[in-house]
Structure formats: C-alpha cells, structure tokens
Amino acid sequence: MEESSGNMRSSEPTAAMKKVREKTAKKRSKEEEEEEEEQIFNFKDKPAGKEEEDEDLSDSEESVFSGLEDSGSDSEEDEKESDDNDDEDDDDVTAVESKQPKQTEEEEEKEEVVGGVTEREEEEKKEDEYEHDSSDEEDIRNTVGNIPMEWYKDFPHIGYNLDGKKIFKPIRNKDELDDFLDKMENPDYWRTVHDKQTGSDIVLSDEQVELVNRLQKGQFGDVNFNEYQPSVEFFSSDVMIHPVTNRPADKRSFIPSLIEKEKVSKLVHAIKMGWIKPRRVEDDTRGRFYDLWAGEDSSILGRHKMHLPAPKIPLPGHQESYNPPPEYLFTEEELALWEQQDASDRKLPFVPVKFSSLRQVPAFSRFIHERFERCLDLYLCPRQRKMRVNVNPEDLIPKLPKPKDLQPFPTTQSLVYRGHSGLVRSISVSPSGQWLASGSDDGSVRFWEVCSSRCMKTVQVGGAVKSVAWNPNPSVCLLAVALESVVLILSPSLADRQVVQSSERLLSGQPEADTSDAAGPVIWSDTEGEELNQGIRLKIQHPKAVHQVAWHAKGDYLASVMPDHSSHLQVLIHQLSRRRSQNPFRKNKGLVQCVSFHPVRPYFFVATQRSVRIYNLVKQEMTKKLQANSKWISSMAVHPGGDHVICGSYDCRLSWFDLDLSTKPYKMLRHHKKAVRGAAYHRSYPLFASASDDGSVIVCHGTVYNDLMQNPLIVPVKVLRGHVITHDLGVLDVTFHPTQPWVFSSGADATIRLFT
C-alpha cells in the first residue's frame, strides 16, 4: 500500500494512471487494514530484507503482467478482476471526491511509515515508479494469490515464486513442547507472528507493535497524522479563477444531447396531449365565501313538487332540564318500566335527572349517537306527507234534530209488573191497549191490567212459554201461546161480552174434513175440564217445538215457527176459523228465526239466520230477499206502513231495511253493546225500540215519509234502563202500547216494565 501511495505522490497524472489511481483510492479503506500489516512485516523482516528489493521490482513486473497499464482506460470490470475481487464498490462519485484529500494523506503517511526504510530503497522506488503500477494488493513473493493456505497444508511447498519455482515450507519441527518452551523462554514470543504465506515466524519491532495497538484502538496508523486539519473545498460555491482541473472540455459539451432532446420531446408531447398538467395552483377558494345569494331570483325553481323539507327536531320539554320540576322525575315504578321497555317504545329517550347545580352536569353520553341518528334520518328515511286530521271532534257528531222536538216518546220507567218467577220471554198487548199478556219460563201466562199493573189472571200452561201473541183483531179477544210443541189459543174473557162471543164464534168453527196431507202431523183439539176453565180453548199439537207464533192482521190466520235445520217443515200457517193448517214451503231455505205477516198486503216475512225473505202469498212466490249483513238474526218487526223492516241480530246490530230502496240495509244501528233480542215498531207513532242483553231498551224516532225521494229519518231519542241483567240475559222482549207512546219490556229478571 505504501508503495503504491508513494508511487502516486510523484506520479504525473497520465490518463491511464489516473483511472487506476481512482480505483485504488476507492479500495483503499478495507485492504489497508490487512495488507498494511503484512507489508510492514515484510519491511521489517530482516531475513527477507534482501528479497524486498526484488519484490519491489517484481511488483512492477507483476503489474505489467497483469496488464493493468493497458487496461487503464478500460471499464472497471477488468480492474476488479485484476484486483482478485478483493474488495467491492464505493460510489464513483465519492471516490472522485475523496481522491484529492487522500492523496495528501497518503503522502504523509508514506513518509512516516517508510521512515524506517533506507534511503536507497526510496531512491529505487522512485525510479521504479513509472514501471510499477499501484496495485500492490498481492504478496508478490508467493504467486498463489489470495487463497486459503490450508490448501497447501499437505504439500511440502507453499507456493511458487515468480519464476514458477516451488517455494518450500521452512523446515520446522516444533511440537507442542517446543512451542511451550518457546513461550516460556522467548521474551519476544508475544510479538512473534506466524506468516502463513511464507511459513515463517516474524518478530515485530516496537514501531510495528505500536502501530498494531493504534489500529486496534481505531486510531490512524500514523502518529503525526492530523485528522482535523482544515479541508480544502475544491468544489464550492465560490467561483475560482482557475479551473480545478486542467482538463479540456469534452466534445459532447459542445453538441446538443440527443437523449435530452428525446426526453424533452416526450415531455412536450405529454403536455400537448394533456397527460401532464401544470402544477395546480394552491387555491384556497374552498374555504372562501362570498354572497352566494346576491343575484337572488325567483326564476330558479327549487326542487320538483315532491320535495319535502326534513322535519325539525322536536324542541325539548321540561323533562330534559338539568333541574326539572320534581313532578317530572321518574318514580321507582316509572324507572323500572322505562328500563324494561324497548328503546323504541319508550316515551322519553332519556331518564330525567336533577342536578343541584350546573357544575355537576356531566357530558351526555349519547350525544354523538343522537346527532348520527339525525344524520341517518336525514338521508335514509323516506319522507311522507302525513295529513294530520285537525278536526274538531264536535264537528264529527252528526247534527240531529233534538229529541225534545221529537216527543212524545217514553222517557221514564213508570210501572213494574212483578209476579213471574222465571224469565219472561214474551209479552203482548191487547189491541185495545188495556191488557198485557206475558209468557214466562215458569210455565205460566199472566194477564195484567196495563194501567194498574195488576195481575188479572194467571194461567198455568205446564211448560216454558216461548211466545205469546194477542190477536190483533179488536173484535175478538184471543191469545196464542207457544210452548214446547203446542200452540194454545186462550180466550181470557177480559172484554165485553160481545167481543167474547165473537171470539167464541171464531173458535167454534168446524174443522174441515181432510186434515190429512197438507198439515200432516198437526192435530187440532178442543180442551176440556180444568184447562177449559182456565180459558184454554184450543190446542194445536205440532210435531216439533214451536218457538214463535204470529197473527195475521185480520186475526184469522196464525203462523207458527219450528226452527229446524234439516226439514222443510219449519213454518206452519193455521186458519183458525176452519181449523186448517198448511206448510207453505216445500224447501228448506235455512233456519227460520221468526216470521211476520205484512200488515195490509198479502206478504209474508220469513227471517232466516242471515236474511229475510218476503213471499207473496197470493202469487205464492218469493218477491224479495233482504240481506241483513249480520251473523244471526234474532228478531224482526214490520213497520205498520209495511214498507220498512227492522231486524235485530245477535251481533249487536239493528238493521233498518227500506223495501223500496234495496235489499241491503238502509242503516245499521250499532247502539247496543250486546245481542239484540227484540225489536218493535209503534203502530201509530214514528217510534221503534230495540231490546238487548245489555239491559237497555233504546227507543228511536224513525219518521217514514210518503215522499219516495226522502229517506227515513232515524234519531235515537232515549236509552231506557231498568232491567237487571241475570245470567247474562237482559231484556228479552219489547213491545209498544197500541195507542200510547209507551213501551213495555220484559226481562230475564222476571219483571215487565212500562216506560212512559
């Protein structure tokens, strides 16, 4: 190394050498440590002292051999090879930069280290300089190169000298014992080093030992080297008069560069095509505001009409206060309820809390949640215009004539008829209006005087009475009673003698000869004995249980109902004068509930479970079928004019049919809370009443106009209460007084009441 640097110092910078020097400078760093040592040894090796000169010479020769001089202008690759891959790269740049300072360093270093070497040698070296190249990395005494010396372990030689002759290992037969002895006895043992390449022991001089120490400490090998000397800035911002290098400018610095031209043209093209945009000017207009609504014109139509602005958040109430009035705080039950409820069911989304002062109020933990939910509402919720019904509830109530103006109608309970011991199923008023007949489950029929509530007569009939009906003909005094499967005709003899006689006459009519086919199983029979004394005159035996009896207005015909699913024999019409019965229907059209005759015309109303059929008795055909729109009809009443029908049903409704209008009810009245049991029209006043299981009788005003264009006016006028509900049954039957605006009702509490 020293040699090479020595070479460099005085070297004239030829082109070739320069290059090489660069390389060496670059590699210097690492090799130094290893090689330097060795070389120093070499110098100091006394036995090898003679060789040294040869080596130096051979050094130059070697470099000639290696062809370094020729390859001076070559690429660095060659160089590396020639360097035996000693060391690797540094950047070119750094190499160049460090070149100059290093040169100086090396100069001094060399002077110092080589101080021990004789002048002559130095002289020689100077001469050699030009022949030598600077590559001194190898040990030139042995030409094997930088290989592990173990490879020669088994050979007698350790390499070849320049002439190709074997270099033999020095004969050493030192064994462990010798070694040990040497160690113990030789004072220089610690500074003796074995040179593997030559196989000889070298004793280091004091300088060398010191050098080793310094290097081990990481100091410069040269004692006098000042590492802090001021550096000379060759390449600085200052413009100097003289160039740093004397090198003439290249040709390429005078001619335009093709590569650059290509690059520029590429960029130009990219700019032209818009691929490269000029650097964006930093605009802060995003945060800059101006008068956005300056040119406010109404011509800009906002959104289409479907747009709905979002509703605002409801404003907080007293509950949300940090210090609410005490009544808004939750009690324990309320709190428990609140905690149990689902979040969506809660009336308040928070629990009201009271803080005694403002400083104790903590942060609301769901604040961000609530804002977020509001955001979600704003962009995720479908909006809908909900028409809020802002109606005064009073306006909803229909304007009806005042009940006061519609008088007379029954308003108060005036009489109670007591005497029955079972529920009173049916009542009937005599056409004169003086007498009231009632049939009860206790097996008796009682006759009452209406005005005094006196029981005039009690007839034990021996069975639960289902229905009683007073003959509507005022010239006779007869009562039809239905019980079990019998219809009894009673003559209570509660009238003038004339009337009684005429009824006797009617009853004494002779039966027709054939009672065989039409009436079938019906048996007419006179009564005798006890029964006759009681006033029972006729017995009409039916095949099945009779539920209802109804008179024709003339008083000669009587209809009885025997509800039965399976047979067509459900209704029988009896003629009293001839004691004849007949079944008007050939087919079963459903369970018959009740029947009624038209007051003036030859029509017959049959109410089945869900509909009312109207038959023309003369033509013997069905003229109309009214749909009641209810589940189960319980009762039916025909208006005295004959054009209107009301039907009560077990599903709490009362339907009014106008026969002129349609087969559907004209009005459904849902006045009752429970099943409607009875319905009745007044014969002369525009009144009708309905009785129900809820214990009430509702009297309605129902004006019927002669003008066909005008619909009936229906106004409820009075709710009459009085009956006590027993066994879930309230009022069972209702009927009007024939002349007065009075209404009778019979109930399950075994009473009959008169409302006037």
**Footprint on residues 235-294 left by another protein (CB under 8 A):** 277, 279-280, 285-287, 289-293
Site for another protein in 464-503 (CB under 8 A): none
Choice between 33 and 377, CB closer to another protein: 377
d(CA 598, CA 614) in angstroms, rounded, equals 9
Least Cβ distance, residue 354 to another protein (angstroms): 8
The contacts of residue 370 (CB under 8 Å, 6+ apart) are: 349
Q: Between residues 391 and 709, which has the closer beta carbon with respect to another protein?
A: 391
Do the strands 611-616 and 621-627 form a parallel or antiparallel pair, or are they unpaired? antiparallel
What CA–CA distance (Å, rounded) separates 619 from 603?
Answer: 10
In the complex with another protein, which residue's Cβ is closer, 237 or 331?
331
Determine the size of the site formed for another protein (CB under 8 A): 89
SS3 letters for 471-488?
CCCCCCCCEEEEECCEEE
**Three-class secondary structure of residue 560 per DSSP:** strand
CB of 251 or CB of 272, closer to another protein: 272
- For the record, the structure tokens of 21 come out as 């020097």
Segment contacting another protein by CB under 8 A, of 43-51, 254-262, 618-626, 713-721 = 713-721
Kindly tell me which of 285 and 340 has the beta carbon lying closer to another protein.
285
CA torsion 645→649→652→656, rounded to 10°?
-10
Q: Which of 12, 227, 296, 621 binds another protein (CB under 8 A)?
A: 296
Member of 177, 244, 249, 380 binding another protein (CB under 8 A): 380
CB of 362 to another protein, least distance (A): 7
Query: Binding to another protein by residue 92, rule CB under 8 A?
Result: no
- Residue 150 or 394: the one with the smaller Cβ distance to another protein is 394
Please, are residues 645 and 636 in contact by the beta-carbon 8 Å criterion? Answer: yes
Cβ-Cβ contacts under 8 Å for 36 (sequence gap 6 or more):
1, 2, 221
One-letter amino acid of 190:
W
Q: Which stretch binds another protein (CB under 8 A): 34-42, 162-170, 365-373, 627-635?
A: 365-373
| Residue 363 interacting with another protein (CB under 8 A) | yes
| Cβ distance to another protein smaller for residue 228 or 379 | 379
Q: Rounded CA gap, 734 and 672, in Å? A: 14
CA dihedral 371, 374, 378, 384 (to 10 degrees): -170
**For another protein, which stretch binds (CB under 8 A), given 262-270, 393-401, 444-452, 619-627?**
393-401
259, 391, 513, 709: which one binds another protein (CB under 8 A): 391
Among 694, 686, 687, smallest CA distance to 670 is for 694
- For residue 725, the minimal CB distance to another protein (Å) is 17
Interacting residue with another protein among 714, 732, 743, 752 (CB under 8 A): 714
Binding residues for another protein restricted to 394-413, rule: CB under 8 A: 396-400, 402-404
Positions 651 through 690 that interact with another protein (CB under 8 A): 669-671
CB distance 681 to 646 below 8 Å: yes
- Before 408, cis peptide (omega within 30)? yes
3-state SS class at 377:
helix
**Region near another protein per CB under 8 A, out of 371-379, 458-466, 488-496, 517-525:** 371-379
Inter-CA distances, 385 with 306, 380, 382, 534, Å:
10, 16, 10, 77
Tell me which residues in 136-165 interact with another protein (CB under 8 A).
none
359 scored as a contact of another protein (CB under 8 A)? yes
State in angstroms the smallest separation of the CB of 400 from another protein: 5
φ/ψ bin of 609: left (φ > 0), alpha (ψ from -120 to 50), beta (otherwise): alpha
Nearer to another protein, 253 or 356 (CB): 356
Q: What is the DSSP letter of 564?
A: -
Tally of CA atoms within 13 A in the half-sphere of 518 that contains its CB: 15
**Interaction with another protein in 520-559: which residues (CB under 8 A)?**
none
The pattern of x and - marking residues 618 through 657 that bind another protein according to CB under 8 A reads ----------------------------------------
Q: Does 344 bind another protein (CB under 8 A)?
A: no
Q: In whole angstroms, how close is the CB of 730 to another protein at the nearest point?
A: 17
Compute the least distance from the CB of residue 299 to another protein, in Å: 9
Give the nearer residue to another protein in terms of CB position, either 552 or 718: 718
- Minimal distance in Å, beta carbon 322 to another protein? 5
Min dist. Cβ of residue 239 to another protein (A):
31
Q: How far apart are CA 320 and CA 161, in angstroms?
A: 106
Chain-centroid distance, C-alpha 540: 74
Q: Is 378 in the site for another protein (CB under 8 A)?
A: yes
> Is residue 72 within 8 Å of 162, Cβ to Cβ?
no
State the sign of the Cα–Cα–Cα–Cα dihedral 74, 80, 83, 89.
positive
Select from 216, 237, 253, 357 the one that contacts another protein (CB under 8 A): 357
368 lies in the binding site for another protein (CB under 8 A):
yes
Using CA atoms, how far apart are residues 597 and 555, in angstroms rounded to an integer?
11
Sign of CA pseudo-dihedral 337, 343, 349, 354: positive
687: nearest Cα among 612, 729, 744, 747:
744
Instruction: Give the Cα separation of 642 and 580 in Å (integer).
Output: 27
Axis-axis angle for helices 119-128, 49-66 (nearest 10): 10
Q: Between residues 215 and 456, which has the closer beta carbon with respect to another protein?
A: 456
Task: Tell me which stretch binds another protein (CB under 8 A): 57-65, 149-157, 297-305, 630-638.
Answer: 297-305
Q: Which of residues 690-709 bind another protein (CB under 8 A)?
A: 698
Distance spanning both ends of the chain, measured CA to CA: 147
Query: Under DSSP, is residue 20 helix (H, G, I), strand (E, B) or coil?
Result: helix
* Min CB(6)–another protein separation in Å: 47
Among 75, 245, 340, 356, the residue binding another protein under the rule CB under 8 A is 356
Looking at the Cβ atoms of 50 and 304, the one nearer to another protein is: 304
Classify the phi-psi angles of 652: left when phi > 0, otherwise alpha if psi is within -120 to 50, otherwise beta: left
Q: Which of 361, 518, 532, 724 binds another protein (CB under 8 A)?
A: 361
Angle at 164 (CA atoms; ends 162, 168), nearest 5 degrees = 95
Q: Which of residues 298-337 bind another protein (CB under 8 A)?
A: 298, 300-304, 306, 309-310, 312-313, 315-318, 320-328, 331
What part of residues 442-461 is at the interface with another protein (CB under 8 A)?
none
Closest to another protein by CB, 353 vs 617, is 353
Task: For another protein, give the closer residue by CB, 323 or 508.
Answer: 323
Tokens of 223: 């004692």
Is residue 385 involved in binding another protein (CB under 8 A)? no
Q: Segment near another protein (CB under 8 A), from 58-66, 97-105, 357-365, 467-475?
A: 357-365
As a residue count, the chain comes to: 756
